[in-house]
Structure 1
Amino acid sequence: MRISTNQLFDRSIKSVLDNQGDISDIQQQLSSGKKLLRPSDDPVGAAKVVRLTEELDQIEQFKRNNDLLKSSLDQEEAVLRNIKSSMDKARQLMVQAGNGIYGDIDREAIAIEVGQIRDEVFDLMNSRNANGEYIFSGYQTGTPAFIYDPTATGNKYQYQGDDGVNKIQVSENVNLQANSNGKEVFEDVLARLKTSITASTATSASSTITQQAAFDQFHKDNYDLLTPANNDYRITVLPGGNQVQIDNIGTGATVGTVGYTSGEPFTFKGIEFNITGGPGNTVDFTLQPPEKENFAEILNDFYIALNDDNMTEKQFREELNDALVGTDNGLVSLANANSGLGGRLNVASSVYVSNLDLEITNKQARSDIEDVDYAEAVSELSKQETALQAAQATFARVTGLSLFDYI
């Protein structure tokens, strides 16, 4: 095989340039700390690095979402804690107002404080976050959760939001509720369950709920939402005049028999009846449908009762019992909301730790693929420098073999 002078020169130059290129690559690896300078260096590894980088970017976003979620939940927790404190204080005032030795002046003083608590609770139910969004308005974050309408015939404190709850994604498979809507926490508070006498053939008849828990259970077990007639009951004074029988008018079923003395009270399922009448007389009563009130409305109704000088003591006691039961149910609603909030905070913290672990694992996997091994790279640099020196020395020797050197 014959090799021309041009071929000798070309091969020698190519050898030198290749070695210089290899040295340049190693120098870039050492300066950048990255083993993969271009996808062609390791196509499979480069694809893995892209995927791992995307996953790490996603985890970083989940961490930011988690921080945002915790901030939102912490703010809501603070608001609920303040509302609970206010409702606890209001309940104490209700108990004080029920003290038999308190007169009109005392009740007026209590009314002033109850009014201030009502306004405070109303403001807290319309709390806003740092972005100016209403926390408890559901999806309607630009609308106040509650408004006060003094001209309304029913509830004057009205919910303006919706049933929506905003959720934040904190991991690939976990979305957590970032807020509670005011309807669920403050609006849907069950009011005191009641009954009323609707008809009577007796000389006189009255009823009062004296054992609320027993009546609530009776109402829960027997109230028929679909068939209103099944909520009507009839008390009949039996022959002999020493017993009464209670029947469900709608179903015709007998639900109880109680000892009876005309003009003296008797109790049935937590309801105290006082009937004056003889055998054959009847008294009809009905279970009233469950109603719901919001926190501000409960306090406002009690505030009005405290300021009503024309209200009889019996009427005031009814209003007081309404307020106490409504407040207790409201406190239960607050406790449930706090429990749900605390559960979401615990899940958020757990997911955050999981994301940190996953981030460390992915970073390690990406580092194993793309990061340079400095000891190996320095050794390779020395090797390539030696190869370049050999190529340069060979080039000088080969280019000196021309016939012109012998002429």
Structure 2
Amino acid sequence: MRISTAQLYNQSISSINKHQSSSNALMDQISSGKRVNTAGDDPVASIGIDNLSQQNTLIDQYLKNIDYATNHLALAESQLGDADTLTMSIRDNMLAALNGSYSESERQSLADEMQHGLDALLALANYRDGDGHYLFSGTLTEQQPFAFDNSGNIVYSGNDDTRQALVAAGVAIATNLPGDTAFMAAPNAMGDFSVNYSANQTGDFVVSAAEISDSAAYAAAPVGDYTISFTDDGAGGLNYQVSQGGAPLAAPAAFDPTNSIIFNGISMSFDGEPANGDSLTITEQANTNIFDTIQQAINLFTSGNDLQTPAGQSELAQLLNNFDSSVEQMRDARSVAGNALNSLDRITDNHQNLKLANSSALSTLEDLDFAEAISEFEKQQVALNASSQLFGRLSSFNLFDYI
């Protein structure tokens, strides 16, 4: 069989190109340290590499979201921790006012300390993060959440929405705590009503509970405050009478301190016993907040009224109960932040473990065996040199040299 010169040349060039291509591919692998740089290097492994790489990319995004959530929740938890410490100092001042030996100037000093504490607590509730956003205003981060109105009552101007961060497949965690949840919506310690005690009270008693026991009956009753008056029944006991707007709702009835007073769907319980001539008024108030409670205590301390009277003691007891309810609410909010941070730690560990497993699998699929690759590269170089030399000799071969 005869082989033409053109065919011989084509075979030689094809061999050189093949070895050159193999050498270049090996050089790319050695440079990148990867066995699979394109799908053509290993189609099956390439599919697995793409899937694992996408998983790791998604995990990296989750971890970024977790960092954002962790930073904001940790800041909120820290602020609530500072608020808890501050409120305990304020509570100590409220308890100190029970000391009957305190003079008016000393009570004023306590009130001044409580005012400083209230200002500091308000500053914590209106805290801004490093980006200048209010921490406790819900999603209205440009809006200052808390301020006192002209009547001296605190007003919340944020909302109760939360910002959600996707931290795992199907798992979203709130990255903020709305201010009304943390500071505003504490349940009234007595139930559904607050009590205004008469300054002329002589009996040693407090209302331990005032709540709606029959919602249907309460809804059908006229709206407004109720006054309960106590009078001597003439037989060594007491009668009580409930009135609204100055009009009695019913005839006087015998008062038994061991049983609740029930009227218009409202139930009231007492600790202690009123005296003849005592009275009180109840106003519907299902919730309270730490700011108004502290302000009311300050007003009580600076009113000039004797806190050692039964009325003063009863009012202060009510304020302390509402204060404790508000502090418990702040602690609950802090627990929410703490639990979320713990969950984020666990999710982070899961992500990091999965990423480590994926990286190990990626290494198996795509990492290059440098010793084997260098050895193969040297073989291809030898073959390439041999092909080049052979082509050089064939290209210089001439029949006339032998004639």
Please, what TM-score do these two structures have when normalized by structure 1? 0.79
Per-residue deviation, residues 82-121 of structure 1 (Å, max 9, x unmatched) = 1111110111111111112223222111111111111111
Alignment of 1:235-384 (within 5 A): 258=256, 269-274=269-274, 289-309=284-304, 313-384=309-380
Change (3 A) 1:341 1:113: same
- Partners of 1:124 and 1:130 in 2: how far apart? 14
| Aligned counterpart, 1:40 | 40
Q: Distance in 1 between matches of 2:194 and 2:81?
A: 34
Superposition CA RMSD, Å: 3.8
Matched, 1:186 2:157: no
Matched residue of 1:158: which SS?
A: strand
Change (3 A) 1:133 1:273: same
> Is the Cα contact below 8 Å between 2:257 and 2:271 reproduced in 1?
no
Partner amino acid, structure 2, of 1:180: L
Q: Compute the displacement of 1:8 (Å).
A: 0.6
**Residues 201, 279 of structure 2: 8 Å contact kept:** no
Question: Structure 1 residues 259, 108: CA separation in 2 closer, same or farther (over 3 Å shift)?
Answer: closer
Matched residue type, 2:188: A
**CA distance in 2: counterparts of 1:274 and 1:37, whole angstroms:** 89
Which position in structure 2 is the counterpart of 1:392? 388
User: 1:163/1:223 Cα in 2 relative to 1: closer, same or farther (>3 Å)?
Assistant: same
Aligned to 1:165, what secondary structure does the other structure show?
coil
One-letter amino acid of the counterpart of residue 182, structure 1: G
Aligned to 2:5: 5
How far does residue 236 in structure 1 lie from its aligned partner after superposition? 12
1:28 aligns with 28
Q: Distance in 2 between matches of 1:122 and 1:395?
A: 89
Structure 1 residue 362, shift from structure 2 partner:
1.6
Q: Deviations over 1:129-176 (max 9, x none)?
A: 101111110011110111122x23xx6210000111122222233222
In structure 2, C-alpha distance between the alignment counterparts of 1:259 and 1:30, rounded to whole Å: 92
The 3-state SS of whatever aligns with 1:309 is coil
TM-score, with structure 2 as normaliser: 0.80
Residue 101 of structure 2 aligns to a residue whose secondary structure is coil
Distance (whole Å) between structure 2 residues aligned to residue 93 and residue 284 of structure 1: 28
Change beyond 3 A, Cα 1:120–1:284:
closer
What is the letter of the counterpart of residue 35 of structure 2?
A: K
**For residues 207 and 31 of structure 1, what CA distance do their matches in structure 2 show?**
93
Does the CA contact (< 8 Å) of 1:33 and 1:371 recur in 2?
yes
How has the CA–CA distance of structure 1 residues 173 and 134 changed in structure 2, closer, same or farther, with 3 Å as cutoff?
A: same
Work out whether 1:227 is the aligned partner of 2:223: no
1:398 Cα offset (Å): 4.8
Q: 1:45, CA displacement in angstroms?
A: 2.8
1:332–1:196 CA distance, 2 compared to 1 (3 A): closer
Answer whether contact 1:191 1:322 (CA < 8 A) is retained: no
Distance 1:234 1:123, change over 3 A: closer
Give the distance between the partners of 1:301 and 1:72, measured in 2 at CA. Answer: 32
Gaps in structure 2 of 5+ consecutive residues: 243-253, 259-267
Question: Taking structure 1 as reference, are residues 229 and 394 closer, same or farther at Cα in structure 2, changes over 3 Å only?
Answer: closer
| CA distance in 2: counterparts of 1:209 and 1:59, whole angstroms | 62
Sequence identity (%) = 26
8 Å contact kept, 2:205–2:310? no
Question: Paired residue for 2:118?
Answer: 118
- Kindly report which structure 2 residues correspond to 1:33-182, keeping only aligned pairs within 5 A, or say none: 33-149=33-149, 151-152=150-151, 156-182=153-179
Secondary structure at 2:138 match in 1: coil
Q: Deviations over 1:213-235 (max 9, x none)?
A: xx34xx56x62344317999999
The one-letter code of the counterpart of 1:185 is: A
CA distance in 2 between counterparts of 1:353 and 1:131 reads 28
C-alpha contact 1:107 1:306 (8 A) present in aligned 2: yes
Report the alpha carbon displacement of residue 286 of structure 1 after superposing the two structures with TM.
9.0
Give a deviation string over 1:185-234, Cα, whole Å, max 9, x none.
Answer: 1001223425779xxxxxx9987753x6xx34xx56x6234431799999
Deviations 1:295-346 (A, max 9, x none): 2111111111111125773443233123211211112112211221111111
CA distance in 2: counterparts of 1:317 and 1:259, whole angstroms = 19
- Please say if residues 206 and 273 of structure 1, whose CA atoms lie closer than 8 Å, have aligned partners that are also in contact: no
The answer to whether the 8 A contact 2:187-2:286 is kept is: yes
Are the structure 2 counterparts of residues 247 and 402 from structure 1 closer, same or farther at C-alpha, using a change threshold of 3 Å? farther
Comparing 93-102 with 63-72, greater Cα deviation is found at 63-72
| Residue type at the aligned position of 1:224 | D
1:308 alignment partner, SS class: coil
Instruction: Using the TM superposition, give the Cα deviation of residue 370 of structure 1 relative to its aligned residue in structure 2, in angstroms.
Output: 2.3
Q: Give the aligned residue type for 2:364.
A: D
2:81 is aligned with what amino acid? R
Q: Does the 8 A contact of 1:125 with 1:136 survive in 2?
A: yes
* Alpha-carbon separation, structure 2, partners of 1:316 and 1:342: 38
CA deviation vs aligned residue, 1:336-360 (integer Å, no higher than 9, x gap): 1122111111111111111111111
Cα 1:70/1:290, change in 2 over 3 Å: same
Could you tell me whether the CA contact under 8 Å between 2:118 and 2:291 is conserved in 1? Answer: yes
